[in-house]
Amino acid sequence: MAKALGIGGVFFKCRDVQSLGAWYRDHLGLDLSEYGGTEFHPNRLPAGSYTVWGPFSSDTEYFQPSNKEFMINLIVDDVEQALAQVAAGGAQVVGEIQELEFGSFGWFIDPEGTKVELWKPATSPESEE
């Protein structure tokens, strides 16, 4: 049986591709390619990071206050600074930064109403091997 090996991308509709792409470039440093996306290569990600595929119940409140049926998680090197940058760009920061066993988490709503979770992975001697 063939098996899925990882997330190949996150694709979503938006009202203005150019404007939203430029917003993410300006406030989170995403370099957009000719096709309009950003590539994240595993060898450039921090130790301890990984990709999660996670279905949620249809009545989850985790994506609120967004009314969209999905949420995007981005790995960052500094949650606090990244939240400050997106807030300066007009994003709505949601809740407080949380420090959990998997790392630091923060959330914001982007200019098109999508909830984005920022994650700085926890580092431990095991994850740096």
**Residue 7 within a domain:** no
**Residue 11 within a domain:** no
**Residue 41 within a domain:** yes
Specify the higher pLDDT residue, 47 or 27. Answer: 27
User: Containing domain of residue 92, as a range?
Assistant: 17-121
**Residue 25 within a domain:** yes
Domain count, the chain: 1
**Residue 40 within a domain:** yes
Which pLDDT value is given to residue 28? Answer: 95
Question: Residue 37 is encoded by which pair of tokens?
Answer: 């996306």
pLDDT, tens digit, 9 for 90 and up, residues 28-85: 999 888 887 888 888 888 888 888 889 999 999 999 999 999 999 999 999 999 999 9
**Residue 126 within a domain:** no
> CATH number for the domain including 74?
3.10.180.10
**Residue 53 within a domain:** yes
Whole-number Å distance between alpha carbons of 107 and 72? 10
**Residue 116 within a domain:** yes
3-state secondary structure the chain: CCCCCCCCCCCCCCCCHHHHHHHHHHHHCCCCCCCCCCCCCHHHCCCCCCCCCCCCCCCCCCCCCCCCCCCEEEECCCHHHHHHHHHHCCCEEEEEEEEECCEEEEEEECCCCCEEEEEEECCCCCCCC
